[in-house]
Amino acid sequence: MSARIIDGKAAAARLRERVGEFAAAFEGTAGRKAGLAVVLVGDDPASAVYVRSKGKATLAANMTSFEHRLPADTTEDALIALVDTLNADPAVDGILVQLPLPRHIREAAVLTRIDPDKDVDGFHPVNAGRLATGLNGFVPCTPLGCLMLLKDELGDVSGKDAVVIGRSNIVGKPMAALLTAASATVTLAHSRTRDLPGHVARADIVVAAVGIPHFVKGEWLKPGATVIDVGINRTDDGLVGDVDFNGAASVAGAITPVPGGVGPMTIACLLRNTLVAAHRNAGVALDKDAI
Ligand code: GUN
């Protein structure tokens, strides 16, 4: 058997296209464009690449991009002062502070300062709480993109057995919450999980977000399972995922490649969250299911 390859690049292009159309309509109604502010502290090359592509994608989707590049020795107080300014700026609908931050800045102090209704990354504890309790809020972009790919592939995940590997606040925990809300039966596995292959063997859906190259083996999988690989690991062999792709592709029913799977969906979902924020902030109605 050979798995279908889930084309995240194509799905992301379709989503960006729809967001762009809605953003143009928003501008017509609200008399201004939706705006996303991205803050980069320091000069980590990978972060600089992400921030540049976020800026380009924002403009391409008919939104305004505000970029703030601060030196690596910026103080926590100065960064928080910038967040306060962006919170108060009516042209800014969404705020994203690129992670990781320099070590002398406490991530939590900054992320909790962002107005939860501008928190398009969905990292604020208020939004984590909204997700956990079924309230409207912002969902972190990577797990949101994973769920969209799963729904494209499977239609409905209700009643499916899902194993999420990795319990980070950015991916694993919100992924488990989203799948739970979508009525899947969810196991959240992590580094202390006993007999991980035994859990994976029962899963209709496997989401791998551990950050270890080729960690999930093809022989662990239930034949026909849908596999979502969130890993982006730089190795001597180039960019590889958390799943042993070649081994998994001969057992799975469908699988995301790395690159070209989950990655492109993350920025598309960021634009989607910004569009939703703009409508809320401007008091303009939006049918979220239509996006
Ligand atoms: N660094 C890596 N991924 C992300 C993300 O999704 N959001 C932010 N803010 N920083 C990141």
In this predicted model, what pLDDT tens digit does every residue of 119-161 receive, in sequence order? 999 999 999 999 999 999 999 999 999 999 999 999 999 999 9
Q: How many CB atoms lie within 10 A of CB 130?
A: 18
Q: Is there a domain that residue 187 lies in?
A: yes
Eight-state DSSP code of residue 243: B
**Would the CB of 93 count as within 6 Å of ligand 1?**
no
Cis ω on the peptide bond leading into residue 100 (within 30° of 0)?
yes
Q: Supply the CATH number for residue 148's domain.
A: 3.40.50.720
* Average pLDDT of the segment spanning 233-254: 96
Same-domain check for residues 96 and 184: no
**Would the CB of 141 count as within 6 Å of ligand 1?**
yes
Q: How many CB atoms lie within 10 A of CB 285?
A: 7
pLDDT one-digit tens code per residue, 105-125: 999 999 999 999 999 999 999
Domain range for 111: 30-116
| pLDDT classification of 242: cutoffs 50, 70, 90 | very high
Same-domain check for residues 148 and 256: yes
**Would the CB of 267 count as within 6 Å of ligand 1?**
no
**Would the CB of 96 count as within 6 Å of ligand 1?**
yes
Reply yes or no on whether the pLDDT at 1 is more than 70.
Answer: no
Q: Is there a domain that residue 169 lies in?
A: yes
Using the mean position of ligand 1's atoms as its centre, give its distance from the Cα of residue 120 in Å: 11
- Nearest atom (ligand 1) to Cα of 97: 9
Q: How many CB atoms lie within 10 A of CB 62?
A: 19
Same-domain check for residues 54 and 159: no
* Average pLDDT of the segment spanning 173-185: 98
Same-domain check for residues 96 and 197: no
The pLDDT of residue 280 is 97
* Average pLDDT of the segment spanning 268-280: 98
| Contact predicate 122/137, CB 8 Å | yes
Q: How far is CA 39 from CA 10, 66, 80, 100, 274, in A?
A: 28, 8, 11, 11, 15
**φ, ψ at 74 (rounded to 5°):** -55, 135
Using the mean position of ligand 1's atoms as its centre, give its distance from the Cα of residue 6 in Å: 23
Q: Is there a domain that residue 167 lies in?
A: yes
Task: Supply the residues annotated as catalytic.
Answer: 54, 98, 121
Mean pLDDT of the chain: 97
**Would the CB of 97 count as within 6 Å of ligand 1?**
yes
Per-position DSSP letters for 12-65, written without gaps between them: HHHHHHHHHHHHHHHHHHHSS--EEEEEEES--HHHHHHHHHHHHHHHHTT-EE
The two structure tokens encoding residue 33? 């464009």
pLDDT one-digit tens code per residue, 40-89: 999 999 999 999 999 999 999 999 999 999 999 999 999 999 999 999 99
The pLDDT of residue 257 is 98
Question: Which protein residue has the closest C-alpha to ligand 1 atom 11?
Answer: 99
| The overall pTM is greater than 0.95 | yes
Whole-number Å distance between alpha carbons of 43 and 171: 24
Question: Which protein residue has the closest C-alpha to ligand 1 atom 3?
Answer: 99
Q: Supply the CATH number for residue 102's domain.
A: 3.40.50.10860
**Would the CB of 206 count as within 6 Å of ligand 1?**
no
Same-domain check for residues 110 and 209: no
Same-domain check for residues 106 and 148: no
Same-domain check for residues 199 and 105: no
Residue 187, Cα to own-chain centre: how many angstroms? 20
| pLDDT classification of 5: cutoffs 50, 70, 90 | very high
Whole-number Å distance between alpha carbons of 139 and 119: 9
| Contact predicate 171/142, CB 8 Å | yes
Q: Is there a domain that residue 21 lies in?
A: no
- Give the residue, out of 112, 119, 120, 121, with the most ligand 1 atoms within 8 A of its beta carbon, to mutate for a pocket test: 121
Same-domain check for residues 92 and 154: no
pLDDT exceeding 70 applies to what percent of the chain? 100
Same-domain check for residues 152 and 255: yes
The C-alpha angle 62, 230, 240, rounded to 5 degrees, equals 110
Which residue, of 61, 83, 116, is where some domain finishes? Answer: 116
